[in-house]
Structure 1
Amino acid sequence: MRQGLLRNGIATAVATVALFGGAVITAPSAGAVTHPKCNLDEPDHAGYKIKTNNVNLRKGPGTSYGSLGQLAKGTKFTYYCTKTYPTPVWFYGKVTSGAHKGVKGWVRGDYVTM
């Protein structure tokens, strides 16, 4: 019984690979950080900074979401994904310097620079 199930499973896997022309679909890497509200996942974008004072780090991608704290100009921010519609663009990521270091949240895209 077990051998029959194993044989059927292998046959299904081989047929699936053949169907997709030999392509193998893999899951995202374990290090990938995404958020269900993002519509564009990207590799970690480190080296970004907040470009003005008193920028809210928000609980969600919009001004209707509460603030997790305010970020100062020059605070480092690594973003993982974006919400691009409706505009404006919002970045989801982690603060990597300053008073809120280690906190994950959302920052409006026009307040972030390289």
Structure 2
Amino acid sequence: MKSSSARKTVVGMAASAVALGAVMATASSASAVNSSACTRDDKNHWAYSVDLSDAPLREGPGNQYRQKGTLEGLHAFYVICSTVNGSGNRWYYGDLANGTRGWLWGRWING
């Protein structure tokens, strides 16, 4: 009897672990962040792309955030504020010319 109840417990725990793993696997790695993450006021100014490549505009200050737009090469980005993320990179929060708001890695613009 003890062997049967122990087996049921182990099987139940394994099923719970599998279910929890499935829930965690579907969770988003990062949620959108607005200007509340800013640590520096950049005086609201236009900055321009320094590269002909398209730069991804993200929902937060880091590559782990979902891309929500693109700063096309040699186009403008209206900077509102900025922060340095955990990797030591400066990220700017602001608007694309079309009004899409998000975060852009400082490497892409002349901040």
Structure 2's unaligned 5+ residue stretches are 1-33
2:80 aligned partner: 80
In 2, the alpha carbon distance for the partners of 1:43 and 1:58 equals 21
Aligned length: 76
Conserved 8 A contact 1:40-1:84: no
Greater helix share, structure number? 2
Conserved 8 A contact 2:58-2:67: yes
Higher-Rg member (1/2): 2
In 2, the alpha carbon distance for the partners of 1:107 and 1:85 equals 12
Structure 1's unaligned 5+ residue stretches are 1-33
2:103 aligned partner: 106
Conserved 8 A contact 1:35-1:81: yes
TM-score, normalised via structure 2 length: 0.62
Q: Does 1:36 align with 2:33?
A: no
Moved over 6 A (4+): none
Q: Does 1:67 align with 2:67?
A: yes
TM-score, normalised via structure 1 length: 0.61
